[in-house]
Amino acid sequence: MKRYDYHQPQSLKEAYQFMEKGSAGNARYIAGGTDILWRIRQKAVEPDALISLRGVEGLRGIHQNGGLSLGGMTLFRDVERHSGVVLDYAALAQAAAVLANPQIRNVATLGGNLCNAAPSADSAPPLLVMEAVVVLEGPAGRREVALEHFFKGPGQTVLDRTEVLTRIRIPERQPRTGSAFLKAGRLKQDIAVVNAAALVVMKGNQCAKCRLAIGAVAPVPLRLKSVEKLVEGQEISPGLLERACELAEKEVSPISDVRSTEEYRRTMAGVLAKEVIQKAVRDAR
C-alpha cells in the first residue's frame, strides 16, 4: 500500500493549513474514509497526505430548529436513528438506513457521501428533493450552494481543493408534506443500481408540489423537473403515475457497467419514479 502522511487537525483553520502545506497538490481531506481508503488500496488515488476531519470541533450533529441542520461529519448511524429525521424527513432516514452496512454506517458521514459525488450516492436524492443547501468553508471564506448545483460529474463537485463541506441545511418541513426513498439493487446494502427520492406537498387529493430525484442514471444525481411539472397540480391517479414513469425513462441517461445495464437502469428509473411518488404521498400528513 502506498504510504502517506495522516494529519489530525482539531480545527478547520488547522485543516486548511495542512491542506495548503500539501504543496504537491496531492493532499486530500478524509471523513469516514470508507470510500477513499479503498480507492487508495486500489491505487485509484494516490495522495501524499490525508487530512482527517474527525477531530475537527463542531462538524458532527443534527439540529432541528425550524429546518434541519446536519454537520458534514454526521454519521449515517446518527441520521438513521434521529427521531426528528425519521418523522419529518423520512426519505433521508430511509436512505441512511440502507446505505452499505452497519459497520460502514458507524463511520461513514453524510458530508463524505456527498463530496465523493458518486452518481449512486444514497444521500443525494433525498437531500435534492428536500432542496438542501450545503455550506462550504475554506481559507477564503464561506459560501452556500444549493445541492442541485453542487455535483459536476462522477466524483466531481464545485468544491475547491481547500474547502470543506461543513453543514447541510434543509428547509423546514411544511404541513401535508411526505417524502420517501427507494433503491434498486441486488441486495439493499449494495451500491444502488438506481435510487430515487420524492417529496410531495398535498392539498386534498391534489399534489401541490412535487420534487423527484433519481441517482445512478446520469453523471450526477438528477432532479427530474419535467416529471415534477407533470405531477404538480394534479390528482395522483394510476394514469398520471404511468405518464410519470414514461417521462422519467426518457429523461435519464444511464450507462451499462458491472452492476447493471443501460436498459435495466432506464426501466427501473421509471418504476422507481412511480413507486417513490406513491410512497411519498402515503407519507404525507
Binding site for another protein (CB under 8 A): 1-6, 8, 30, 33-34, 37-38, 41, 50, 52, 54, 77, 100-104, 106-107, 188-189
Instruction: Select 105 or 266, whichever has its Cβ closest to another protein.
Output: 105
For the stretch 154-158, contacts whose Cβ atoms lie closer than 8 Å and that sit 24 or more positions apart, written own/partner, are 154/117, 154/118, 154/119, 154/219, 154/220, 155/116, 155/117, 155/118, 156/117, 157/114, 157/115, 157/117
Q: Which residue has the cell 433525498?
A: 126
Shortest spacing between CB 20 and another protein, in angstroms: 18
Instruction: Select 50 or 79, whichever has its Cβ closest to another protein.
Output: 50
Instruction: Select 101 or 206, whichever has its Cβ closest to another protein.
Output: 101
Shortest spacing between CB 193 and another protein, in angstroms: 16
- Rounded Cα–Cα distance for residues 85 and 88 (Å): 5
Shortest spacing between CB 285 and another protein, in angstroms: 25
Contact 26, 48 (CB under 8 A): yes
Shortest spacing between CB 217 and another protein, in angstroms: 24
DSSP string, 39-90: HHHTTS---SEEEE-TTSTT---EEEESEEEEETT-BHHHHHH-HHHHHH-H
Shortest spacing between CB 4 and another protein, in angstroms: 5
The region that residue 229 occupies, defined by phi over 0 for left and psi between -120 and 50 for alpha, beta otherwise, is: alpha
Residue type, 56: V
Instruction: Select 36 or 268, whichever has its Cβ closest to another protein.
Output: 36
SS (H, E, C) 128-149: HHCCCEEEEEECCEEEEEEHHH
Shortest spacing between CB 100 and another protein, in angstroms: 7
Instruction: Select 1 or 258, whichever has its Cβ closest to another protein.
Output: 1
Instruction: Select 52 or 267, whichever has its Cβ closest to another protein.
Output: 52
- Rounded Cα–Cα distance for residues 87 and 100 (Å): 22
Contact 49, 6 (CB under 8 A): yes
Shortest spacing between CB 38 and another protein, in angstroms: 4
- Rounded Cα–Cα distance for residues 198 and 168 (Å): 18
Instruction: Select 106 or 174, whichever has its Cβ closest to another protein.
Output: 106
